[in-house]
């Protein structure tokens, strides 16, 4: 039985929970040193959510529950900055002379003689993200805004609250008003992980860290921002009342860090133009190893008193400058256009270039992203193009140089000309396996349809086929699949069933006992279900739930393979996109050959296991989401019970969800269910629901 609270005891418990959760957040997100297990953290979080729901009058702007996002907005409100968010001057000379010119300019403004000691500067990175302002009143974060035009920005408070390393309450004795200026950004590795997950969900990936940060902060639905890997660095101040400022900018940053605000560690206090240039060079050499993008460094006179003396020129401070790195763009010639096939079958056109030095490396290939992009830019063999290292990592073709395009006279008109080369077009067949190339209607990405046979996709196909919810081949993990595919022993999932114990034992780090265990697991996987087999095939857009629906509807694999789009769309929740994916997959002869080989190898299930003629179960039409660990049921057992009762399971909580069955460590799905006001039940209530519905049917 849960503990009962009145308003007084609830306030004390809520405040204690908030303090404890924020302490765990700082340990996890700032120090990378978790202090509790995920299950314990989630239990604290759920307890706080429940109390805030029961006592809404105790809501507070610094509650960690606000991290998950609030209600979507119709539009952003405008915010007038008390102190303008001004830009700083950019030094056009990207070499050492640029740093020395800034130092000389500052010394002239201060009328310092040549014999005076070198000036002290604070040197920092110039982050490549979105400038924002955080307003704290008595230590509590109350408003966040974009820079806008420097005088008026947009109120993005809800979105900035979702950024985990922005403290909702400052540490220590905070002043009555403290407005912190800084940059919202994304790390490259975290963006890559997010994009991989987005592609797996069928969502559009974010283009680059800068666009990703800016676009996420300006989402009208804060739940979207909450799902993005946003971070923040503080680098200055706006309006302040009731606080005696430190004497220097470097001490100011240290004070902000003491308040709990994230401040970049890549900074230094240096003296004179020579040391500024050395910092610029040192950071430039580290750009590839630092996990976030920056396009230069920023120099600031360290003394705040001297900053005040120097003042501003127009809308730029005289005491600061941005010293960028050389533009990562160059011109070269396209000598060919090839096509790469990714691990998901996506075809990407790649321009083969005359070698060119750009962004610190020699580039010979540059991505054209997709066929639509290549046609939009009209890149052709022989063109002179501008190449950029996008995010200073991935080379891309920015544009052609039209006047340099090779031309030839028109046959019918000697005075008119046409391009020597035709426009680019993707091939109709995959360059790796010869399977048909297909593209979803309205989509930009073309894909190889030979998911079971394409060498570019073999590793992903094998891992998916062997997965626990597919054919469940225990022990066939990433490293083994890498060895088997690299050696050529396994080119398709059907080849798994030809492996012998001696062949497996010969693999690196595989002994006789391990080989025997894996061989037994492969043999065991031959006895499966139609739903698992359909899911294991890795048909695009066909997840576990859809595979179950298809098996239930058709009952036989042959019937599914022969179904046209109209027959497939008769299956609940199968729309035109999913139907097209299924038709394309089975239309590819290579895929059908692998399926035939799998069946010949002995993979089997009970034909007719579909339930087209069966009466509707007591949970017919009900959609369940399982989350967390149930005390007495495995996830598979719970799914089987739902399936047997005619219900459906889904991996995501949506407005169409009827019940969320929550166990321990339920996490974000539970929070989303509560936000959408979806019925949440535990294991006992789930069992009771099954029994009650069964008695009524």
pLDDT along the chain (697 residues), means of 10: 66 86 72 69 81 81 70 78 89 88 95 94 94 95 90 91 90 94 93 86 80 88 88 95 96 96 96 96 88 92 96 87 82 94 89 84 86 90 86 75 90 83 93 89 82 91 92 91 90 94 88 92 94 93 89 90 91 85 92 93 76 56 86 79 79 85 84 88 87 60
Of residues 287, 281, 282, 310, the one with CA closest to residue 119 = 310
The predicted structure's pLDDT at residue 411: 76
Active site (annotated) includes residue 126: yes
Catalytic residue selected from 126, 231, 491, 669: 126
Q: Both ends of the chain: CA-CA distance in Å? A: 32
* DSSP code, position 494: G
Residue 379 vs residues 334, 364, 367, 402, 512: alpha-carbon distances, Å: 8, 16, 11, 10, 55
Kindly provide the b/e burial profile for residues 574-584, where b requires at least 16 CB atoms within 10 angstroms of the residue's own CB. Answer: beeebbbbbbb
Q: Where in the chain is the domain with CATH 1.10.287.610?
A: 7-59
The residue written with tokens 């691990």 in the block is 343
Phi, psi (deg, nearest 5) at residue 86: -90, 155
Buried b (16+ CB within 10 A) or exposed e, 248-282: bbbebbebbbebbbbbbebbbebebbebbbbbbee
The CATH-assigned architecture of domain 99-324 is 2-Layer Sandwich (3.30)
CA 156 to chain centre: 21
> For residue 4, what is the DSSP state?
P
Residue 297 token pair: 């460094």
How many Cα atoms are found within 13 Å in the side-chain-facing hemisphere of 322?
A: 16
Q: What is the CATH number of domain 623-696?
A: 3.40.50.10190
pLDDT of residue 614: 42
For residue 505, CA distances in Å to 408, 474, 484, 496, 520 come to 62, 16, 12, 14, 13
Q: How far is 151 from 70, CA to CA, in rounded Å?
A: 27
| Cα maximum dimension of the chain | 97
What is the distance between the alpha carbons of residues 335 and 329, in angstroms, rounded to a whole number?
18
- Do residues 656 and 623 touch, judged by C-beta distance below 8 A? yes
Closest CA to 599 of 563, 558, 560: 558
Rounded to the nearest 5°, which phi and psi values hold at 8? -70, -50
Give the residue among 14, 16, 42 at the shortest CA–CA distance from 28.
Answer: 42
Report the pLDDT value the prediction gives residue 29, as an integer from 0 to 100.
60
Q: What is the crossing angle of helices 589-600 and 576-587, to 10°?
A: 70
* Look-up of token digits 């009962």: 4
Residue 607's pLDDT is 63
437: which strand partners?
448
Residue 327 is predicted with a pLDDT of: 62
Q: Name the residue among 131, 130, 181, 120 with its Cα closest to residue 319.
A: 120
Query: Do 171 and 260 form a contact (C-beta atoms < 8 A)?
Result: yes
Nearest alpha carbon to residue 165 among 17, 16, 69, 22: 22
Q: What is the DSSP letter of 403?
A: G
**Which residues, listed in sequence order, are joined to residue 545 by a DSSP beta bridge?**
none
pTM of the model as a whole: 0.50
- Angle value at C-alpha 81, between 80 and 86, nearest 5 degrees: 125
Residue 189 CB burial class (10 angstroms; 0-12, 13-18, ≥19) = exposed
Say yes or no: domain 434-614 is CATH 3.40.50.10490. Answer: no
Question: Which residue in this structure is represented by tokens 């200073």?
Answer: 392
Sign of CA dihedral 139, 141, 142, 147: positive
Q: How far is residue 405's CA from residue 162's CA, in Å, rounded to a whole number?
A: 49
**Cα separation of 329 and 352, whole Å?**
16
The answer to whether residues 550 and 559 touch, using CB atoms and an 8 Å cutoff, is no
Query: Cβ atoms within 10 A of the Cβ of 618, count?
Result: 18
Helix (H, G, I), strand (E, B) or coil at 231: strand
Q: Where in the chain is the domain with CATH 3.30.470.30?
A: 99-324
Residue 540 is predicted with a pLDDT of: 87
Q: Is residue 497 within 8 Å of 526, Cβ to Cβ?
A: yes
In the chain, CATH 3.40.50.10190 sits at 623-696
Torsions phi, psi for 693 (to 5 deg): -65, -35
Q: How far is CA 461 from CA 193, 405, 496, 614, in A?
A: 19, 42, 12, 33
Neighbour-count burial of 243, counting CB atoms closer than 10 A to its CB (0-12 exposed, 13-18 middle, 19+ buried): middle
What DSSP line would sit under 12-45, residue for residue?
HHHHHHHHHHHHHHIIIIISS---S-HHHHHHHH
* Cα distances (angstroms) measured from residue 690 to each of 331, 600, 657, 682: 68, 40, 17, 12
pLDDT of residue 360: 61
The CA–CA distances, whole Å, from 448 to 479, 537, 540, 588 equal: 25, 15, 11, 10
| Helix ranges, 555-616 (H) | 557-562, 565-569, 576-587, 589-600
| Cα 650 from chain centre | 22
Residue showing tokens 């109209």: 566
Structure tokens at 222: 């804060």
Domain spanning 7-59, CATH architecture: Orthogonal Bundle (1.10)
Site of tokens 């300019």: 105
Instruction: Note the CATH architecture for domain 329-419.
Output: Beta Barrel (2.40)
Q: Which residues contact 339 (CB under 8 A, 6 or more apart)?
A: 347, 348, 349, 350, 426, 427, 431
Q: Residue 396 to residues 197, 283, 284: CA-CA distances in angstroms?
A: 23, 24, 21
β-bridge partners, 144: 134
Q: How far apart are CA 209 and CA 20, in angstroms?
A: 32
22: tokens are: 């924020």
């Amino acid at each position: 039985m849960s503990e009962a609270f009145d308003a007084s005891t609830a306030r004390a418990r809520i405040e204690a929970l908030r303090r404890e959760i924020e302490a765990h957040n700082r340990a996890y997100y700032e120090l990378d040193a978790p202090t509790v297990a995920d299950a314990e953290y989630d239990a604290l979080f759920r307890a706080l959510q429940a109390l805030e729901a029961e006592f809404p009058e105790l809501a507070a702007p610094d509650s960690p529950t606000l991290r998950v996002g609030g209600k979507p907005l119709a539009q952003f409100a405008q915010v007038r900055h008390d102190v303008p968010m001004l830009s700083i001057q950019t030094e056009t000379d990207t070499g050492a002379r640029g740093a020395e010119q800034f130092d000389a300019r500052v010394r002239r403004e201060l009328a310092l003689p040549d014999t005076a000691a070198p000036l002290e500067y604070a040197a920092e990175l110039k982050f490549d993200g979105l400038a924002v302002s955080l307003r704290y009143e008595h230590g509590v974060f109350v408003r966040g805004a974009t820079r806008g035009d420097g005088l008026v920005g947009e109120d993005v408070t809800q979105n900035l609250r979702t950024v985990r390393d922005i403290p909702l309450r400052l540490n220590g004795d905070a002043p009555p008003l403290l407005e912190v200026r800084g940059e919202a950004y994304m790390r490259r590795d975290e963006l890559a992980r997010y994009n991989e997950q987005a592609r797996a969900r069928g969502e559009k990936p974010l283009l680059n860290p800068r666009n990703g940060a800016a676009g996420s902060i300006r989402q009208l639905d804060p739940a979207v921002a909450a799902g993005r890997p946003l971070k923040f660095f503080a680098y200055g101040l706006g309006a302040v009342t009731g606080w005696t400022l430190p004497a220097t900018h470097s001490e100011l940053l240290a004070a902000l860090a003491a308040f709990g605000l994230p401040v970049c560690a890549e900074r230094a206090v240096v003296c004179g133009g020579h040391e500024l240039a050395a910092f610029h060079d040192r950071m430039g050499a580290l750009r590839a190893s630092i996990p976030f993008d920056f396009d230069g460094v920023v120099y600031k006179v360290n003394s705040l008193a001297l900053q005040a003396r120097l003042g501003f020129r127009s809308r730029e401070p005289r005491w600061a400058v941005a010293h960028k790195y050389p533009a990562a763009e160059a011109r070269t010639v396209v000598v060919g256009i090839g096509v790469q096939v990714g691990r998901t079958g996506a075809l990407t056109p790649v321009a083969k270039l005359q070698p060119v030095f750009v962004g610190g490396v020699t580039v010979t290939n540059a991505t054209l992203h997709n066929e639509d992009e290549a046609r939009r830019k009209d890149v052709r063999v022989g063109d002179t193009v501008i190449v950029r290292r996008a995010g200073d990592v991935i080379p891309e073709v920015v544009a052609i140089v039209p006047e340099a395009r090779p031309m030839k006279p028109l046959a019918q008109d000697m005075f008119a000309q046409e391009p020597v080369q035709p426009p680019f077009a993707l091939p109709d067949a995959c360059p790796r396996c010869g399977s048909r190339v297909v593209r979803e209607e309205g989509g930009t990405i073309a894909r190889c349809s030979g998911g079971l046979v394409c060498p570019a996709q073999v590793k992903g196909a094998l891992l998916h086929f062997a997965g626990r919810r597919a054919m469940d081949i225990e022990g066939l993990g990433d490293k083994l699949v890498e060895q088997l595919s690299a050696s050529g022993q396994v080119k398709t999932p059907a080849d798994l069933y030809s492996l012998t114990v001696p062949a497996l034992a010969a693999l690196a780090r595989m002994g006789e006992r391990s080989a025997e265990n894996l061989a037994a697991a492969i043999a065991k996987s031959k006895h499966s279900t139609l739903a698992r087999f359909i899911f294991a095939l890795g048909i695009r857009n066909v997840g576990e739930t859809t595979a179950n629906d298809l098996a239930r509807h058709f009952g036989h694999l042959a019937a599914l393979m022969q179904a046209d789009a109209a027959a497939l769309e008769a299956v609940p929740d199968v729309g035109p996109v999913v139907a097209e994916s299924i038709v394309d997959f089975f239309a590819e002869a290579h895929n059908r050959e692998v399926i035939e080989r799998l069946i010949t190898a002995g993979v089997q299930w009970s034909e007719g296991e579909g339930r087209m003629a069966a009466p509707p179960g007591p949970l017919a039409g009900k959609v369940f989401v399982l989350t967390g660990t149930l005390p007495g049921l495995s996830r598979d057992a719970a799914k089987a019970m739902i399936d047997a009762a005619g219900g459906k399971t889904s991996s995501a909580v949506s407005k169409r969800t009827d019940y969320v069955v929550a166990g321990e460590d339920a996490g974000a799905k539970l929070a989303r269910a509560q936000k959408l006001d979806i019925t949440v039940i535990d294991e006992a209530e789930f069992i009771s629901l099954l029994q009650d519905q069964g008695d009524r049917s």
